Amino acid sequence: MILLEVHNRIIEELLTLQIEAFLRKEKLVELKTDVVDFDGALYHITSSRDKPFTVSIKLKFYRDLEQHGTDEVLRREYGDLLVKPLEGYNVTLALDFNTQLPKGDSNDVWLPLVRKISMLKRNCFAAVFEKYFEYQAKQELTAGNHKRAVIHYRDDETMYVDASADRVIVIFSTVFKDADDNIIGRVFMEEFKERRRQFQQAPQVIVSYRTPPEELKDMHDARTGDNIGYLTFVLFPRHTKEGARDNTINLIHTLRNYFHYHIKCCKAYLHAHMRHKTNEFLKRLQLARPEVKKNFRRGANAIGDGLAGVE
């Protein structure tokens, strides 16, 4: 399987090209483009000679993330790159090549900054996970400061994050809009659970169909139905400790995209394989067709009739 990239490659490549042109003292290319991610995240990218390189992001569920400290995390990660959001967007970053670009003879000086900017969506997500990892680590679970996080990351799909003294539970609800997706999706969900048995250090995986898992029994708005699935990941302290949490966030926040991306890849492979087999079958049928022998009797009779007429 393919692990999806945490950063946005288009942002990274565009910004890299602009910085390289600036360092070579070449004229910067005028940029004004929109980019849409697989999960519906919308980016707006602009750049020109006399204005900073700006990246804006729009997330439908940003207000849900904002309740869990996203603004503080973004200020920590981006500092003075964070500016007033462009109208219609949630977050805007602006990089002035003249004043904010790290100085140095090697590209390694500024490449980490490029990668950080391209990870804007990931860092928006990071706040909710960091908050509950800290709850678990410090066991701050009293009623006054602890409540389950509910992130409506799609119109009909939700992510739930909760913590207890020894674990953090992340639950994804997902909808299979196509009958084929439902069948293939269930195979993948079971594979998550089965593969975990081979890797004891991996998070525990619990799969639920049609109805929410036991952890959501108090969530009356949790969706039910034949095309509804729930994936529950139980993260233990070894996954949420300081040295491992960044990698955990990188992987867990892309889970839904990873899951549905591979469903679509599987369908594309099956369709391509079926087309190939069909073409092979048609070729064999073509070879199996009997040859039609040419019949010259009609021509011979016509000649005989002509000679009879001459007589």
162: which residues sit within 8 A by CB, 6+ positions away?
Answer: 132, 148, 149, 168, 169, 215
Q: Is the pTM higher than 0.85? A: no
d(CA 92, CA 87): 10
Residue 269 has pLDDT above 60, yes or no: yes
d(CA 114, CA 95): 10
Residue 307 has pLDDT above 50, yes or no: no
254: which residues sit within 8 A by CB, 6+ positions away?
Answer: 4, 6
Q: Return the sign of the alpha-carbon dihedral for residues 214, 217, 223, 224.
A: positive
Q: pLDDT of 55-99, one tens digit each?
A: 999 999 999 999 999 999 999 999 999 999 999 999 999 999 999
Q: pLDDT of 15-56, one tens digit each?
A: 999 999 999 989 888 999 999 988 889 999 999 888 999 999
For the ranges 60-74, 107-121, 193-207, 242-256, which has the lowest average pLDDT? Answer: 193-207
Cβ-contact 159, 254 below 8 angstroms:
no
206: which residues sit within 8 A by CB, 6+ positions away?
Answer: 193, 213, 231, 232, 234
CA 91 centroid distance within chain: 20
pLDDT of residue 305: 54
Q: Nearest-CA neighbor of 37 among 66, 7, 12, 3?
A: 7
Mean pLDDT of 127-150: 80
The residue behind tokens 């391509």 is 272
Q: pLDDT of 237-252, one tens digit each?
A: 999 998 899 999 999 9
Virtual CA dihedral for 198, 246, 118, 74, nearest 10 degrees? 150
pLDDT of residue 48: 87
Residue 302 has pLDDT above 60, yes or no: no
Residue 236 has pLDDT above 80, yes or no: yes
pLDDT of residue 297: 58
d(CA 151, CA 59): 11
